[in-house]
A and B are shown apart, each in its own frame.
Chain A
Amino acid sequence: MLTVLYALLYYVATAVFIVGIAYRVWGYWKTPAPAVIPTTPAPVTRTGVVWRMFKEVALFESLWKSNKWIWIFAMMFHLSLWLIIIRHLRYFIEPVPTIIVLAQPFGKYAGFFFVLGALGLFARRILVARVRYISNPSDYLMLLMFLGIGITGLGMSFVMKADIVGVKNFFLGLMTFNWQPLPSDLGVLLHLALVALFMIIFPFSKLVHAPGVFFSPTRNMVDNPREKFHPVPWLPSIDTVEYDEPHGKK
């Protein structure tokens, strides 16, 4: 029964996640950025923009300039998230590639930093009046969701070892449409439910910042409005415009 429920949940979550993100990205892709508006000083070449974007997504350059506390917590959070995701690939691939085996110990302990980062961000939300002012219930809940995912995950790794072989079989089964029973530990069920929730809300929430940042016109545009002609797609050609009469000659 639980197996069926979770199997369906994961099919739905995956579909929503993929289709939702694709839909979002498609929307950004097709919406014009009608003028060249990078925040300057901005690179004057494509390569320069790639470097700027790299510094932005890998090192959080702007955030570093802005606020060291948020930077530290955000770095902790996102870096460990990557390690954790890489480590989790082992549940979907058989045999497990060496690189993922090597990442295993890092991924495992990254869980602590993940939780710590999320706690730091949560604390800022509550303690700094300015940030409290701009926070909606969803902002707190999302952090709680991540904390839940992190804590249940850590629990399974370090406190009550879960039947991860069973979990792996369940997911491999899902992927080959040959369903296998899901171990019914409370930890596993909670962890998986929260992850599915994460996948479902991802495309509808601020979490789209992850693919979205690559589309940000103030960061991804080459600073060349003088060198290159960028017509506004929805304005008629300049040859068709009517000019205001000079004053006094009406």
Chain B
Amino acid sequence: MAEEEKVIEELTTEEALTDPLFVPEPVEGAAAHIKSFPAAPEFQEKLGYPGERPENWKEVALNKMQDLRGKFRSFRLFLDICVKCGACTDKCHYYMGTADPKNMPVARQDLLRSVYRRYFTLPGKWFPSLVGARDLTEEVLDEWYTYYFQCSECRRCSVYCPYGIDTAEITMAAREILDSVGIGMKYTNEIIGKVYDVGNNLGLQAPALKATMEDLEEEIEEDTGVKVRIPVDEPADILLVPPSADFFAEPHIDGLIGYAKVFHAAGVKWTISTYASEAANFAMFIGSYENMRRVSQRIRREAIRLGVKRIIIGECGHAWRAAYQFLNTLAGPFDFLDPNYPVPQHICEFTWDLIQKGKLKFDKSQNDHLKLTFHDSCNVARASRMGDYPGGQFDIPRNIIKAVCNHYYEMPEDTIKEATLCCGGGGGLLTDDLMELRKKGGSPRMKALKQVTEEYGVNKMAAICAICKTQFSKIMPYNGYAMDDIMSVHQLVSNAIILPGSEQEAELAEAQAGGESEKEDA
């Protein structure tokens, strides 16, 4: 196929393979074949959507659009004020990775804007072809389904738009409209259903969760000689809500061990809950505030039931956005919690606070075999904050890493912090049906990583996002890295932390004594 050849030609030049921000020439239709599986009717219905496309789908879709127009200023404004300046056209990692022009942020918005103009604006009603307005047809629906599920809602485009137009807002709205006519995405919508039924994305039932935590406790004791508890469903001061991947997946679980050790060292009473065992909120990905609230109010209920004073969220990018920007708004007010702490708090804020107060002891040399860099997860970078000043979300995780590791290097400036490149698997796209997209969308980040590998010998990348970690452990092997070259930040903490009374403490004391006596000898 001519198109395929063009894509290959565009994306395999020397420059294309090494420059993280390489911008290909557009090749129309290059990603048109990449599609996720649609959700079965029963899963649609569980979220309050029709199971099948209704007869009058067009009317329903347009009514939904009208509805969103009245509820979200972002939707209404962003559709109106884009001047097609093109500043965002080269900013999306999916465009960079696929060369499909419909993956340029403004073109992605236009898929919906063209319909909006046709039905909701005078010029679109009177002169459709002049302003690029078009009728809503089945083909349009199909195109929406394809390309609105090729956006990870990472907000990179919104940083660079002179009006702050955030394509993620349009993507969320488009997914909500699609859901309203019975067209949903299998991966995302099934997961939301699982949270309603069981309490977490993985569908991990309470007994299994408890058993897993007990195993972990044993593991930690074997490693350290210290009995570190991971309390489940116990009354406590702190409710920890991690992404459920932390209970199971690698390297996530090593992060969970890290949190447990930090809590232990801090001597606080904490617990996880089987009912609110999920920090992730996939309803955010489909732009449904009703579903988002239904997921997040579980945390409220458990906070009340367990009588906690604080809520702390584990390492997860979009979950931190859902918690930071939405938890209070959707499930608040949380006036029953201790007002001395922000609601919610990020585990990194908690750990960094302890480090600053000198309450944690580390042996940094435990991480000496690692040369690290840090991947800013986009939702943390561009849709949240940590600490009390803008940009704390960049500094705090880095500060923690530097407190526990000796070798830290930064990826190129234009690929980190607010300019960070998405892992390629966010926004509800972390499914095998979209593997091709995930690899391509992750390629800019991979190229940035390769640069620091070549320059400084970086061999590990740390992240604070469950999706990023899973995504990277999948795509890194295609890029010359091993699955476990992606690490949790609290895994590094876990490696280096010296718990009081642990074997590590004894070893360290011995080594120091040995070191001193050597000095004396010399």
Q: Residues on A close to B: CB < 8 A?
A: 24, 27-28, 31-37, 39-44, 48, 56, 60, 62-63, 65-67, 70, 74, 121, 124-125, 128-131, 133-139, 141, 201, 204-206, 208-209, 212-213, 215-219, 223, 225-227, 229-232, 234-235, 238, 241, 243-244, 246-248
Pair A232/B325 contact, Cβ less than 8 Å: no
Report whether A44 and B388 are in contact in the complex, using a CB–CB cutoff of 8 Å.
Answer: yes
Q: List 28 A-B contacts (CB under 8 A).
A: A31-B72, A34-B289, A37-B325, A39-B158, A40-B383, A41-B390, A44-B390, A62-B160, A74-B162, A121-B85, A128-B86, A130-B26, A130-B86, A131-B86, A136-B132, A137-B129, A201-B123, A216-B81, A216-B165, A217-B73, A218-B74, A218-B164, A225-B325, A226-B328, A226-B344, A229-B332, A234-B71, A238-B297
CA distance A102 to B33 in the complex (A): 61
8 further interface pairs, Cβ-Cβ under 8 Å (given A138-B132, A213-B81, A226-B343): A33-B73, A39-B383, A67-B160, A124-B86, A134-B106, A205-B123, A235-B330, A247-B205
A39 nearest CB across to chain B (Å): 5
On chain B, the residues within 8 Å of A133 by CB distance are 26, 89, 101, 104, 107
B163 and A209 contact, CB distance less than 8 A: yes
Contact across chains for A232 and B101 when beta carbons are under 8 A apart: no
Residues of B within 8 A of A216 (CB): 74, 77-78, 81, 163-165
Known contacts A130-B89, A213-B162; decide if A229 and B329 are in contact (CB<8 Å).
yes
Residues of chain A lying within 8 A (CB to CB) of residue B418: 39-41
CB of B166 within 8 Å of the partner chain: yes
Contact check, B87 vs A63: say whether CB atoms are below 8 A apart: yes
Q: In the complex, which of the residues B83, B87, B130 contacts A67, with contact meaning CB atoms closer than 8 Å?
A: B87
The complex places the Cα of A223 from the Cα of B159 at a distance, in Å, of: 15
Q: With A and B bound together, what is the CA distance between A125 and B87 in angstroms?
A: 12
Report if B186 contacts A (CB, 8 A). no
Given known A-B contacts A138-B131, A232-B330, A243-B301, A212 and B74 have beta carbons under 8 A apart? no
CA distance A4 to B129 in the complex (A): 33
Q: Once the chains bind, are B342 and A226 in contact (CB under 8 Å)? A: yes
Residues of B within 8 A of A (CB): 23, 25-26, 69-74, 76-78, 80-91, 101, 104, 106-107, 110, 121-123, 129-132, 155, 158-166, 169, 196-199, 205-206, 274-275, 289-290, 293-294, 297-298, 300-301, 324-326, 328-333, 342-344, 381-385, 388-391, 393-394, 418
A64 CB to closest chain B CB (Å) equals 9
Within 8 Å CB of B155, what residues of A? 39
User: Judging by beta carbons under 8 Å apart, are B89 and A131 in contact?
Assistant: yes
Contact A232 B289 (CB under 8 A): yes
Total A-B residue contacts, Cβ distance less than 8 Å: 243
A219 touching B164 by the CB < 8 A rule?
Answer: yes
CB distance from A135 to the nearest CB of B (A): 6
A63 touches B73 (CB 8 A): no
Q: Which residues on A sit within 8 Å (CB–CB) of B81?
A: 206, 208-209, 212-213, 216
Residues of B within 8 A of A74 (CB): 85, 162
Q: How far is the CA of A24 from the CA of B25 in the complex (A)?
A: 37
Chain A residues lying within 8 Å of B330, measured Cβ to Cβ, are 35, 232, 235
Assembly CA distance A74 to B293 (angstroms): 42
Q: Are A244 and B385 touching (Cβ within 8 A)?
A: no
Query: Can you list the 3 inter-chain pairs with the closest CB atoms, starting with the nearest?
Result: A136-B132, A218-B164, A41-B390
Contact present for B86 and A208 (CB under 8 Å) = no
B69 to A, closest residue via Cβ: A31
A70 and B87 contact, CB distance less than 8 A: yes
CB distance from A36 to the nearest CB of B (A): 6
Given the known interface contacts A39-B166, A40-B381, A67-B87, the answer about A134 and B110 at a Cβ–Cβ threshold of 8 Å is: yes
Q: In the bound complex, do residue A244 and residue B196 qualify as a contact, i.e. CB atoms below 8 Å apart?
A: yes
Residues of chain A within 8 A (CB-CB) of B275 are 246-247
- Given A44-B390, A226-B342, A229-B329, the answer on whether A206 and B84 have CB atoms closer than 8 Å is yes
Bound Cα distance from A27 to B66, whole angstroms:
13
